[in-house]
Structure 1
């Protein structure tokens, strides 16, 4: 899937909005300051409410993008700076077309998640004073993309603790899982579908664009696990220990008979093509007849 998205972005270089994240954050700032003078009325009019949308307020399908994800002045200012950094970095790395596609796809999946959550909440969604979804999940998927492209980039948590992007991404995913696991029993039926759909929107957007990377990492882990559990690996270690205890040496060349005890300066290797555990010195590892 990600290869198709890459081809689309390559073939349509004019797709998207240059500096998209800048315009989104300007909208966030405008709504935030209007909320200060209207007691949150602006966000209430623009936020995503499935019941209101189904009753004709279709502008909410788009305008919820401009609703701030934080009401705290300090955290809002920090989020503006951080999301601007993420957005501009990803756009430089990918280009305008792919970054815009990533952001728009995340917004679309978030809308779908909002309707799914609203369906399970029923009439309660109309009673909420806050929107049922925000762009937090899209912003989270931006960070996951950044952490994948720049895993060793060092960020400063709370402006004090230095931490690499990959570990911070793992922490965020853990928090997402913990929010679901720690739900009280009475809230499972109403809240679990909402949280689960929103989290899947963020992770689904990330998976669409990084499927090849996910598959490669999963395959590498699977191969490593199979190797560690294989009988050859276990028997090889047992054979080494047995030979050392019984004969007083660890390695012995099957051709010349030299050992690591008599010649500690030599290096020894085991041949993977021979049928069994046959050790050879560096003079014979590539110069011997394979034993079948």
Structure 2
């Protein structure tokens, strides 16, 4: 466990009252309520809740909180139902894995980062725009779920079974494309918004990501190691020979000749040379 994970565990342990049990249940209920109200008000209800910094600066401070309840997947009711149920499912899965406090802190950090980036974007651009939404919080929640349960299968559009990790890679590619598009068009401020807004995922999973990278580099180094290459060559020779697995480089005895004989490989010889127990300590090292 890395330093960041230890600090988060200590913080959550010392502040258990920060946890909101069943947090996603309340978020989903609010999303459904706003969606239904929009159906009767032609979208006016959610417009009163969205994150518009210009209006917040004029005194509509409730928008600092109410943007959490605005659905990010409006439109067709079936699509809204599928996405809302999916985020409810992964939110509950994360809470069951981490506990209420850690999940609430994760969700809360995402909200605070979105508020921060939304306000900074407004102060830099000065444009009357909606500069924060729950899209990036939901995205970071999905990335967290995919990191913890990479091989779990879900039904895409309720039909096509796919592993969660492949969906996460597709979302990450689209995410990177959007950021690159902003930067290539010189819109540096807008390009930094998704990076900062999803920073909570990297905060909570930095140690895990570093461990994955270390394992990957270790496997890569192992594949090009001379001992590994020689071992694979020896295995291939055995498969072609199909007679014995080990043969002493001094006396020529094999495990087929003496099934009870133990064989060892010398680490001091330059190559992959095998010796029986009589000669493992009594042979000239090959250099």
TM-score of Structure 1 vs Structure 2, range by shorter chain = 0.7 to 0.9
Distance 1:266 1:107 in 2: 66
Q: 1:275 to 1:81 in 2, by over 3 A?
A: same
Larger displacement relative to structure 2 (267-276 or 107-116):
267-276
Q: Does 1:273 align with 2:276?
A: no
Decide which of 54, 61, 68 is 2:71's aligned counterpart: 68
Q: Does 1:288 align with 2:280?
A: yes
Q: TM (normalized to structure 2)? A: 0.81
Distance 1:267 1:114 in 2: 72
Decide which of 205, 223, 228 is 2:200's aligned counterpart: 205
| Structure 2 gap segments, 5+ residues each | none
Distance 1:266 1:176 in 2: 59
Decide which of 59, 80, 89 is 1:85's aligned counterpart: 89
Distance 2:31 2:146 in 1: 24
Provide Cα deviations, 1:266-289, integer angstroms capped at 9, x if missing partner.
Answer: 9997736324224226x549x822
- SS of the residue corresponding to residue 273 of structure 1 reads coil
Larger displacement relative to structure 2 (13-22 or 175-184):
175-184
Q: C-alpha displacement at 1:108, in angstroms?
A: 1.0
Distance 2:140 2:183 in 1: 27
Q: Does 1:59 align with 2:62?
A: yes
Q: TM (normalized to structure 1)? A: 0.80
- SS of the residue corresponding to residue 18 of structure 2 reads coil
What's the Cα RMSD here? Answer: 3.5
Q: Would you say the 8 A contact 2:180–2:191 is kept in 1? A: no
Provide Cα deviations, 1:49-85, integer angstroms capped at 9, x if missing partner.
Answer: 2222233322211111011102212221112211111
Q: Does 1:189 align with 2:193?
A: no
